Amino acid sequence: MTNQPAGRLYVVATPIGNLGDISSRALHTLRTCALIAAEDTRHTGGLLKHFGIQTPMVSLHDYNELKRSPELVSRMQSGVTVALVSDAGTPGVSDPGFELVRACAAAGIEIIAVPGPCAAVAALSIGALPTDRFCFEGFLPARSAARRARLNELVVEPRTLVFYESPHRVQDMLEDCARILGPERPAAAAREITKVHETLYRGPLSQLALRAAAEADFARGEIVLVVAGAPRRAGQPAGTTGELDRVLKPLLSELPLKQAARLAAQIASVRDNEAYKRALQLKQEAGS
């Protein structure tokens, strides 16, 4: 009986548009591994064909990842080396792959990153907004009420915000961002990044929302939206009345008073009763 060495999992980043962005290390990994776990085998098949790679594939997507991960782990434990890829960019970043990586980690299988393209980082690098600290939010909820509730939680986030959005929702999403985060909040929208029709739109959120409504090309292709973090007023610590008001006002326009006050208290780091009292005052002022 022989001791078969365990296989490895390679997490391989692939191009988000321009095929020239793939690294020589990624190509070597895809050629020499025993199996490729791909989000869409048809999509990855085109990439492999372009580079003359004939490694067999198996699908690993949102709907089968939990079921397929144990069998892939078992194969790696028997010595098979697997490369994980998504349709574009880095697996696990708003793409399938997390469950497989977690299962491999739990099983003690070696996991190796083969880094490369990532739409969020690419957009940050050209957005002309602060990059020293940022908050990646991925896709906001598709339903408007849930999307607005999530944006309300981010009103006072000081770090640069990064979102992904699909073409058919980008106008609604930008309008919600302008309404809740603030119409003058600086932002940049990168469309079809690294592809032939790559376009970068810069300006305040209100202007980007207007352009999305007026220009058909804006909604053609995937969007990465980079938004400046909330400004901190000079000498104003978190939890002051000004900060609380800034959180409460958009929340009160979307939620019942008690719910808005409770959420505002959490975001602005104040007591529940303080937020509730201020919410009542704002409601009374708005009604007078």
- C-alpha span between 52 and 64 (Å, rounded): 28
**Overall pTM surpassing 0.85 (yes/no):** no
Q: What is the pLDDT of residues 203-243, one digit of tens each?
A: 999 999 999 999 999 999 999 999 999 886 544 444 455 67
- C-alpha span between 61 and 38 (Å, rounded): 7
Give me the count of residues in the chain. 288
Asked whether 191 and 201 are in contact (CB, 8 A), the reply is yes
Q: What is the pLDDT of residues 115-128, one digit of tens each?
A: 999 999 999 999 99
Q: What pLDDT is attached to residue 241? A: 59
- C-alpha span between 264 and 69 (Å, rounded): 40
- C-alpha span between 166 and 49 (Å, rounded): 27
Q: What pLDDT is attached to residue 172? A: 96
How far from the centroid of its chain's Cα atoms is residue 186's Cα? 19
Asked whether 150 and 177 are in contact (CB, 8 A), the reply is no
Q: What pLDDT is attached to residue 236? A: 44
- C-alpha span between 83 and 214 (Å, rounded): 43
- C-alpha span between 21 and 55 (Å, rounded): 20
Nearest C-alpha neighbor of 196 from the set 173, 167, 217: 217
